[in-house]
Structure 1
């Protein structure tokens, strides 16, 4: 009841001074409002694009107040004023003082600052100095490490493109200075900065361009667009001037809309700008990511829970010590200082420094693996992660199209088919698309040498109506041969024969069905299929046309895919072995996704689609995310929703992605991971940035995170249990001894020595068993551990009291210094040795040995603990030298203490684990 009262008072204090967010595990109202607002904006933008897609071109141009020759200068100026620059928001870097506050504002620092102020106003300058030093060092260390990491991350950012080709109408009489510039351009065609685009602008797009805004296509020729960064589709999609399906309710599936941030792979188009800047689909995602605060992570929630646990113990124990000593000793000012020292003793003063040091060590380790750590907290979250959600395109796959198979009509590998496909791709003079490049790269030297023997005679270029292209070559036998490749359905329209087992047979209805079944099977395996056919001509060597693409002989197919990274399968296997479940979240279709997952050894049978998620309630999705490993055709909102539902189920979630569509999910995850080739907004949202394509570093990062957490947990367990034991001993001694069993300065010096001995913990070894599974903060276990092991030290403290009272007769106020000196040495040595007892579940020094730095610090502090009362500075600390026979009893107490702790450790492990 008492600690509940103190907790309410503390909560009111936090609320009054706007510090509640330091201890809260939930999003603030402002963040929730921003998230809701961002969702609403995204829906409005989707609806505006759908309307633009379905509207007839003349009506759309009228609505946008433009025409196909572009805007005039007056219209541009007015729209610049109304809509602003065509740019999206970036996460603003923190000012130095904001970053310093961010590095300072953790619960332990706030608590220690309050205690330091109390110590200052009560005249305890030694306590004030000790506590303030810890807080300052911890804050500055964290600030400096994160400052260096953020500077390195900033160097990765660069925009892909910054100009667009636009049509603008100019009144030459009003702008004579522009006449010379525009007279050199067709239809007033000029290059401008993409920031200067406004709604209604008419732009021209061609291969290699980045789409500068959300646009409706007015006309297109062979237009293929890479939407991988937006939707996750690995294969470029073809875009047209007309939208065929008017029932589509997903803006990303519109056939006549191109989105800001996507890339033109091949072809050309003329388009009208519909939305710019923050009103684009890209801009809405950027606004959501930048303005909606990052959710409280597993690490932050864990620290908050542990903080409240220690605060409760402190708020209960310190007043009890104050009242017992005040009533029994009568000196209330001395009792207050002593109670304050007890409060400091129950607070792990070095935790901010230990946490920051261990996290910084982890960041240094990962930097050697070419990983930039933007937020130090991410190191521990890496180790605590038990679910990794990953995008497919560009993360698990290479984000490039490769030729996977070249088969005959029956599906058997055929070099003849590859040879014909190579001749087609090699000899065409048009822009080679990604499929042609894949064919050319796949061919070996033997095929390349053989291709030289064929002389090109003519070609029939690709167009989107035929969806095929042909080249005509002269064979070694002196005949003209047309080699055609294209979409299966279009190819079958011009094929009359099939090549089977080196024989040419007629294309029957049965064969036609078999071919469709075979190619459909390829599609179900996630492969893109291109058919290959040929025909020889007698006595014809020129003037070839589309009409010659008839009576062709189908020889087989070439299939394409975006292959997995070589490091993906072993990395995922290692993550699974270490207790991390991997879930694939992609905007690509389910067949391609299943193919990749199959190759990576992931379960792929059951796939949940974005459309199905739309129909699910929160409770249904919470169940579904637990039992589904592959999610396809997802929007950015779907990905973020899956991450938050997994977190609601108690998981620590990581998200690995590189596209615009991944940014919101990256930011919502406990640990966001991206790559240096990712879009800017994804890198800004991430906690970690991988500089190499290999995913093997993920497993190394997970293990390093677990080592980091294990070492932090060692400190908390040892400090909490040891300090609780000391306070318990103080309560016992205060009730029966007519003087203070230990002065405030003794407690503070003891704590300082103990904390200094722990500086080496970040460099300690960790047992392999402790890093096999994810590790989380479990405050209830820390509380149980504290209560279980703390009183063990009190047993030997009481033995020490009896030793000093009865053997050395330190039983009067005049001999209290001797009594305090005897307990001081026992307290320092037992607190220091307990490190080695609790750092491992094994037998210390024999089965598991601490790292050399920790062993060295232990020895130094033990020597100092004995030297202070025995040396020349004893009087300064209000201590005195002990008789030599004291050191006969001391080893017995220490050995007995270590044996009892080891015995009780086995009991604890059997009952609760370690």
Structure 2
């Protein structure tokens, strides 16, 4: 199952229920505290209850599987019968349904109404032009969205989640048969462990789970070790629940209450387990719930809400202006039918028909551009948030540093070299089966240990106490000789020391004293100050009286020493931080690591540390106190996952657009809480699922490029809205003035529609336009109030020159009676279209257009073509068809003068407006 699509599948459900916005990133969290969690088919619930109660041997037999899994051929046969392991998600729309969705926006419906009225009144020319506008708008949006969806699907396919599956080896069967019939002994390798895409799982598959894994289907546990699972997605429980192979409550009526079942859509917090797949896809508990909500209509995202606010702003202007124009023309001209048609044309003139297409194509272009920079966009709307981001929270490891940790030293408790520490650390890392982190890899790959590979073979693993983020340590129990067991524990120094009572000093075991503890703290602090990450190693001998160990056994340990790791800073980090700072993005470090190590790395990469807070300090602060502290703090160290999430939430509540970059299971809550979650392709499943963007390269420089692309995307969308809103409002304002004083219509409905169609076509290349450098220097957000002010301020400026054109046609060219209205309308048609097209270049930048800021060649070429068509229509044989007429050549010097004066006034007013209100 492609879990990356779950977020999109259930987003509407989350929004419709008004759930916590911080869970919107993750589709499965739609079930948080929802009563729907028990509303599944009774047969499914009964099937899961029965599977939990029987013995495992009978269950495996019923599923036609075995403890070491299915063969590849058996799995293929079952998959052919059950289908892929995918929940019911929103299926791609058929082309005709998609076409209908592209058509049914308020703007097209209004145009269709106008076309119907024109057809009814036998104005076929107007009906054809309006119909063309509808067709062009609908088809362009259909084509762009189809391309966008295809591109987005291809991008999301680049990021997949997998499960660790056991595959039965057919050689084992052959060996058994050979031994039975031919008395030949073969030595097969046994079962294989493979990484399989989750959508390929089938009932009967044996899967292995560890910390960070998504539960890929509904499972029955076969073995489990300190397994804690987060079921908030299904039950709303905030704390992880522990799972066992035997249920404590055998009389439970709901499968969710059973301790030996795990459900698709939840995730492993800590521990490890082996389980058998019971049900897959839509037959899972999660899938059954999914079928109940996939039919829900999507509600707008935060980004779409911003677009909708702008659209409603224009609609409100339309609702005010249209009746005024209608009544003025009706009373002054006496032709109410013509006034009605003209009023509807004015309404069309105020509507940005191409807005849906421009938004879609701009976002799609941004997503494709980001993919070239190794950024996979899972949700197109996230691009705008990327550009609006003003605070980036990130971990230290792999972001500021090279993500290549080296084991630098292995020392005794007072800093002296000690090989025994290295041996204990090696055994711990070698035998642990949980989530092996970079520290374990560094220990196992350490050069000095290559000759010691026989160490592990001399031991037998007895048990394991997995890592979790509360204890910040993990233990293994091994046995070299059967007369005793050795518990070896490694983890954060403070946590290790807290469970130790003795230390090994100069080969002797001595009890802890205040003086010794002070020496230990001084030694580890000096190592931290060198930029080394220090991990404590402790051990104790135990009698071989049991085979299962628990957290209670992590006590009375002997501190052996430390292993110290070096993670050098990346060469690209300092310029990347400088670039992000230059683009108005504040970088904050949220790490579980030691504060001294973090501070040294920050100094090395040029990140100025204004303040530092530890997780223990965050714990004691109220939200109000933390809200003040986060603004003055650069580094947050020794954090738990809950601390990271809380800091991100507080930053958001302070008004910031917060990005969070993480790749571990401890980062998943913060990824969901952030406005934009950023992860990497090598992250654990739960982190990739919670993220909006996936980086194929873990680098701040890639982020800086993504921020720029996000701002370009937003800038070009904003250009279209500002251009269209101001020029359309100016045109309608001019119509209002002309309607009050002229004895005829200043422009026929057909003229307004053709002009509007040509102008909109000229805008289709805006997604490819250049963006001024200063617009990229700071975050940008939707501000409908600013757009309204911009429209009211710049729109009437064009009316000054429209009125000048009225006076020119009336007094200079004698178009001052109904008999000469066609000449008047032709003059204003050309001036109106050219001034509208010119405003594209004037308003797209606050600089001097053509000289200080040039539009892209596609936009430049398209506007020139539209201007040429606008002049050709009245001056060609087509003029009669459009109820226009050719203008005398003496008109054009006047036109040039009007346009030059218009451009000069707009440029002057831009400077004043920018100084007064700023320029978004």
What is the 5 A alignment of 1:370-769?
A: 370-388=374-392, 402-403=406-407, 405-407=409-411, 409-411=413-415, 416-417=417-418, 431=431, 437-443=441-447, 497-498=505-506, 512-518=516-522, 521=525, 527=533, 529-531=535-537, 557-560=562-565, 571=576, 574-582=579-587, 590-591=592-593, 599=601, 601=607, 605-607=612-614, 612=619, 630=636, 632-634=639-641, 650-658=655-663, 670-678=675-683, 683=688, 686-769=691-774
- Check whether the contact 2:229–2:269 (CA below 8 A) recurs between aligned residues: no
User: TM-score if structure 2 supplies the norm length?
Assistant: 0.68
Match of 1:94 in 2: 91
The one-character-per-residue Cα deviations of 1:109-167 (angstroms, maximum 9, x if unpaired) are: 333333323432442422132133212311331133113312442354343124599xx
Match of 1:478 in 2: none
The reply to whether residue 886 of structure 1 matches residue 891 of structure 2 is: yes
- Check whether the contact 2:809–2:824 (CA below 8 A) recurs between aligned residues: yes
Distance 1:25 1:861, change over 3 A: farther
The reply to whether residue 161 of structure 1 matches residue 149 of structure 2 is: no
Once the two structures are TM-superposed, the CA of residue 849 in structure 1 deviates from its matched residue by: 2.0
Match of 2:76 in 1: none
Distance 1:332 1:491, change over 3 A: closer
**Take 2:111 and 2:429, find their aligned partners in 1: how far apart are those partners?**
78
SS in structure 1 at match of 2:763: helix
What is the 5 A alignment of 1:842-853?
A: 842-853=847-858
RMSD: 6.0
- Check whether the contact 2:151–2:368 (CA below 8 A) recurs between aligned residues: no
**Take 1:397 and 1:42, find their aligned partners in 2: how far apart are those partners?**
45
- Check whether the contact 1:42–1:281 (CA below 8 A) recurs between aligned residues: no
The reply to whether residue 112 of structure 1 matches residue 108 of structure 2 is: yes
**Take 2:625 and 2:288, find their aligned partners in 1: how far apart are those partners?**
27
**Take 1:507 and 1:662, find their aligned partners in 2: how far apart are those partners?**
38
**Take 1:623 and 1:803, find their aligned partners in 2: how far apart are those partners?**
62
Distance 1:881 1:264, change over 3 A: closer
Distance 1:634 1:73, change over 3 A: same
Match of 1:16 in 2: none
The one-character-per-residue Cα deviations of 1:265-307 (angstroms, maximum 9, x if unpaired) are: 99x9899999999999999999999999988433212101101
Distance 1:850 1:708, change over 3 A: same
SS in structure 2 at match of 1:403: strand
Q: Which of 318, 321, 324 is equivalent to 2:322?
A: 318
Task: Give unmatched runs, 5+ long, in structure 1.
Answer: 1-23, 46-60, 78-84, 166-178, 232-237, 243-254, 473-482, 534-552
**Take 2:35 and 2:594, find their aligned partners in 1: how far apart are those partners?**
27
- Check whether the contact 1:528–1:560 (CA below 8 A) recurs between aligned residues: yes
Distance 1:294 1:591, change over 3 A: farther
The one-character-per-residue Cα deviations of 1:83-103 (angstroms, maximum 9, x if unpaired) are: xx9x99747142324996599
**Take 2:686 and 2:130, find their aligned partners in 1: how far apart are those partners?**
46
The one-character-per-residue Cα deviations of 1:189-215 (angstroms, maximum 9, x if unpaired) are: 9999986589xx9x9999999988999
Distance 1:278 1:760, change over 3 A: closer
SS in structure 1 at match of 2:916: helix
**Take 2:446 and 2:891, find their aligned partners in 1: how far apart are those partners?**
83
- Check whether the contact 1:728–1:794 (CA below 8 A) recurs between aligned residues: yes
**Take 1:910 and 1:129, find their aligned partners in 2: how far apart are those partners?**
42
Distance 1:352 1:701, change over 3 A: same
Once the two structures are TM-superposed, the CA of residue 367 in structure 1 deviates from its matched residue by: 1.9
- Check whether the contact 1:366–1:373 (CA below 8 A) recurs between aligned residues: yes
What is the 5 A alignment of 1:37-52?
A: 38-40=31-33
Q: Which of 808, 812, 815 is equivalent to 1:807?
A: 812
- Check whether the contact 1:215–1:273 (CA below 8 A) recurs between aligned residues: yes
SS in structure 1 at match of 2:330: helix
**Take 1:327 and 1:751, find their aligned partners in 2: how far apart are those partners?**
26
SS in structure 1 at match of 2:379: coil
SS in structure 1 at match of 2:584: coil
- Check whether the contact 2:723–2:840 (CA below 8 A) recurs between aligned residues: yes
Distance 1:823 1:114, change over 3 A: closer
Once the two structures are TM-superposed, the CA of residue 239 in structure 1 deviates from its matched residue by: 12
| Total equivalences in the alignment | 779
Greater Cα shift, 646-655 or 739-748: 646-655
Distance 1:88 1:622, change over 3 A: farther
The reply to whether residue 369 of structure 1 matches residue 380 of structure 2 is: no
Q: Which of 903, 915, 918 is equivalent to 1:910?
A: 915
- Check whether the contact 2:230–2:269 (CA below 8 A) recurs between aligned residues: no
User: TM-score if structure 1 supplies the norm length?
Assistant: 0.68
What is the 5 A alignment of 1:230-269?
A: none
- Check whether the contact 1:382–1:702 (CA below 8 A) recurs between aligned residues: yes
**Take 1:627 and 1:491, find their aligned partners in 2: how far apart are those partners?**
35
Bigger Rg over Cα: 1
- Check whether the contact 1:324–1:734 (CA below 8 A) recurs between aligned residues: yes
Match of 2:350 in 1: 346
- Check whether the contact 1:321–1:339 (CA below 8 A) recurs between aligned residues: yes
SS in structure 1 at match of 2:889: coil
The one-character-per-residue Cα deviations of 1:447-490 (angstroms, maximum 9, x if unpaired) are: 579x69x9989966676799788999xxxxxxxxxx99865769
Greater Cα shift, 877-886 or 777-786: 877-886
**Take 1:745 and 1:686, find their aligned partners in 2: how far apart are those partners?**
49
Once the two structures are TM-superposed, the CA of residue 315 in structure 1 deviates from its matched residue by: 0.9
Distance 1:298 1:41, change over 3 A: closer
Match of 1:133 in 2: 136
Q: Which of 835, 842, 845 is equivalent to 1:830?
A: 835
- Check whether the contact 2:768–2:859 (CA below 8 A) recurs between aligned residues: yes
- Check whether the contact 2:502–2:511 (CA below 8 A) recurs between aligned residues: no
Q: Which of 337, 360, 363 is equivalent to 2:364?
A: 360
Distance 1:112 1:650, change over 3 A: farther
- Check whether the contact 1:298–1:652 (CA below 8 A) recurs between aligned residues: no
Distance 1:294 1:849, change over 3 A: same
